[in-house]
Structure 1
Amino acid sequence: MAQHAPTARICRACDGFPVVAITTGTRHPDGTRTTLRVPCPACRGTGHTTPATGLVRAGR
């Protein structure tokens, strides 16, 4: 079965995984680890990029 190309462009920096969880090494009182959620700086956590605008011809 053929796969369809996605209609939205996937971010090249994060490859579609826009938010990562990084453990800090410390633990909460219940024993779970403290994590930080860090979004991709290129797509700002959306996972998609906007298509580049068309080239504009300047001059003659």
Structure 2
Amino acid sequence: MPRAICRECGGFPVVSITTGERHLDGSRVLLHVVCRTCNGTGLILPAPALSQTGR
């Protein structure tokens, strides 16, 4: 079953945000944030098509 790119993150499920602070070695302190919609995969299952029931 084909999977679609997550509409919340656009296929970039993990981003790094700088806090503005630095470690003792001079590197930046980063926060890694994961997309909650796709749980860090960048892909989602497409919504199932509506089926008609009745006669």
How does the TM-score come out when normalised to structure 1?
A: 0.74
The gaps in structure 1 that reach 5 residues or longer are 1-6
For residue 19 of structure 2, what is the aligned residue in structure 1? Answer: 24
Counterpart AA for 2:12: F
Q: Highest relative contact order (Cα 8 Å, sep 6+), 1 or 2?
A: 2
Following TM superposition, by how much is the alpha carbon of 1:57 offset from its aligned partner in structure 2, in angstroms?
A: 4.5
Please say if 1:10 is aligned against 2:14: no
Q: Which deviations, in whole Å up to 9, do the C-alpha atoms of 1:15-59 show, x marking residues without a partner?
A: 100000000111111000000100011111110001212325467
Matched length: 54
Q: Runs in 1 of length 4+ with deviation above 2 angstroms?
A: 53-60
The gaps in structure 2 that reach 5 residues or longer are none
Among 26, 42, 45, the alignment partner of 2:40 is: 45
Q: Percent identity?
A: 56
